[in-house]
């Protein structure tokens, strides 16, 4: 945890993520009439609700950062997890310890999970603070027209933040695996972020529709279902299953790579 959260790079990325809700809130408050942006594309149909209730800035900010900014920061940290140790010459000393390689990978992935939650809640808490300052707060209208009280709305915001954080675990596992393939951290980071871009491109091409359900980002925007009454859990559960599958597959691949890796640096 110290290795992940004490680096200036980590603070810079978290600071950038915290800035996104500020920019989005200021833009919606001072540079729009509050009536546009909600056309349903990409799960952003609730953006038009921000000016009516500041809590919607949390949902809008998570939707704005999830397609690229959040996975980009996770990709940077994940790509450095093992490759950074190898590049710095400390990996061999870690493997000499009696903890074992499986435990090393487990601890590295635990650090990535912690960063996924830290990055997501940085966006959510920043958006909540900015929304409370710039917009009215009160009963929250849901996407299907019903309204809920502020207490229940905050609970749903927490569930949405948790859902978004879990959505990042698939790319975290991919990045951890890529990090075991090289001793160059920048290469691992670039590859992981590049995979996010490629997946986003593939998901936007209708001709690859048969591939879409298997992409790790296919159900990322399903958290919008938590803003409906009754809550439709099908998309959320599908997303959880998809992320679990990616963690299992690429976690196993990382273990297989590390189990017989000849560490020379």
| pLDDT at res. 239 | 95
- Please list, in sequence order, all residues whose beta carbon lies within 8 angstroms of the beta carbon of residue 150, skipping any fewer than 6 positions away: 55, 137, 138, 139, 140
CA–CA separation, 80 and 85 (whole Å):
8
Task: Return the closest-CA partner of residue 48 out of 141, 134, 121.
Answer: 141
Instruction: Collect the ranges in the chain with pLDDT lower than 70.
Output: 32-48, 93, 96-99, 261-265
| pLDDT at res. 252 | 94
| pLDDT at res. 40 | 43
CA–CA separation, 43 and 66 (whole Å):
11
The residue segments making up the domain with residue 169 are: 2-259
Task: Return the closest-CA partner of residue 170 out of 216, 121, 232, 225.
Answer: 216
Residue that has been written with the tokens 């959320």 in this structure: 236
Residue pair 239/167 in contact (Cβ under 8 Å)? The answer is: yes
Question: Is the dihedral angle over the CA atoms 196, 201, 202, 204 positive or is it negative?
Answer: positive
Tally of CA atoms within 13 A in the half-sphere of 259 that contains its CB: 7
CA–CA separation, 126 and 179 (whole Å):
31
Q: What single string gives the DSSP state of each residue in 142-190?
A: -TTS-EE-HHHHHHHHHHHHHHHHHHTHHHHHHHHHHHTT-S-HHHHHH
Q: How many domains does the chain have?
A: 1
| pLDDT at res. 198 | 95
CA–CA separation, 111 and 64 (whole Å):
24
Residue 264 covered by a domain: no
Q: What tokens appear for 230 in the block?
A: 């009754």
SS3 140: strand
CA–CA separation, 43 and 220 (whole Å):
9
- Burial of 17: CB neighbours in 10 Å, binned 0-12, 13-18, 19+: buried
| pLDDT at res. 169 | 97
* Beta strand 147-148 pairing with 140-141: antiparallel
C-alpha of 15 from chain center:
15
CA–CA separation, 154 and 135 (whole Å):
16
Report phi then psi at 148, rounded to 5: -130, 160
pLDDT tens for 170-204 read: 999 999 999 999 889 999 999 999 999 999 999 99
DSSP for residue 141: E
| pLDDT at res. 111 | 94
Residue 265 covered by a domain: no
């Amino acid at each position: 945890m110290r290795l992940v959260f004490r680096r200036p790079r980590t603070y810079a990325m978290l600071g950038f993520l915290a800035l996104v809700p500020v920019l989005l809130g200021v833009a919606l408050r001072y540079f729009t009439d509050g009536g546009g942006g909600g056309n349903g594309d990409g799960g952003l149909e609730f953006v038009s609700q921000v000016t009516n209730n500041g809590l919607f800035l949390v949902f809008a900010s998570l939707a704005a950062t999830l397609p690229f900014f959040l996975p980009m920061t996770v990709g940077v940290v994940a790509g450095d997890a093992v490759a950074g140790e190898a590049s710095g010459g400390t990996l061999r000393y870690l493997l000499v310890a009696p903890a074992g390689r499986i435990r090393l990978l487990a601890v590295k992935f635990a650090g990535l999970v912690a960063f996924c939650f830290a990055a997501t809640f940085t966006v959510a808490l920043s958006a909540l603070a900015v929304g409370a300052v710039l917009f009215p707060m009160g009963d929250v209208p849901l996407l299907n027209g019903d309204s809920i009280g502020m207490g229940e709305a905050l609970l749903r915001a927490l569930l949405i933040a948790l859902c978004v954080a879990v959505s990042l675990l698939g790319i975290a596992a991919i990045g951890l695996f890529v990090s075991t393939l090289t001793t160059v951290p920048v290469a691992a980071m670039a590859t992981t972020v590049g995979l996010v871009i490629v997946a986003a491109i593939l998901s936007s091409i209708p001709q690859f529709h048969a591939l879409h359900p298997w992409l790790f980002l296919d159900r990322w925007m399903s958290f919008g279902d938590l803003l409906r009454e009754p809550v439709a859990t099908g998309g959320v559960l599908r997303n959880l299953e998809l992320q679990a599958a990616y963690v299992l597959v690429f976690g196993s691949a990382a273990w297989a790579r590390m189990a017989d890796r000849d560490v020379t640096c």
